[in-house]
Amino acid sequence: MLTVPIEIQILFAGILFLLGLIGLLVRRNMIYMLMSIEIMFNSAGLVFVIAANHWKQPDGQVMFIFILAVTAVEVAIGLALLLQVYHHFKTLDADSVNKLKDYN
């Protein structure tokens, strides 16, 4: 059986988190921002699974299931909010929505 060293696994999760962070900071479309947050959540869950495998404990898999549940709720609420933003402003660009603030 092929085993990958834990350092490489953690490095992969870190790169995945960094890609999500870069996507969150660079892209201004709110759907892409939501997807970048999902990538960051999945990389955090991957670290839990890696640690659980390293120490031969089931806690990491349990935490990953919890992260998946939180992520599902975040996606449902986020998409509902994005639908309302699009319905109200007719755009999903974060900068455009920020410029359209009403100061009343």
Instruction: Mention every residue, 6+ apart, whose C-beta is less than 8 A from residue 32.
Output: 23
Q: What is the predicted pLDDT for the residue at 99?
A: 75
Q: What is the predicted pLDDT for the residue at 102?
A: 67
Q: What is the predicted pLDDT for the residue at 37?
A: 96
- Can you give the pLDDT of all 104 residues of the chain as single tens digits? 789 999 999 999 999 999 999 999 999 999 999 999 999 999 999 999 999 999 999 999 999 999 999 999 999 999 999 999 999 989 999 988 887 666 65
Q: What is the predicted pLDDT for the residue at 100?
A: 66
Question: What distance in Å separates the CA atoms of residue 49 and residue 63, rounded to the nearest whole number?
Answer: 8
CATH number for the domain formed by residue range(s) 6-96: 1.10.287.3510
Q: What is the predicted pLDDT for the residue at 67?
A: 96
Cα 28 from chain centroid? Answer: 15
Question: What global pTM score does this model have?
Answer: 0.89
Q: What is the predicted pLDDT for the residue at 98?
A: 82
Per-domain residue ranges of the chain: 6-96
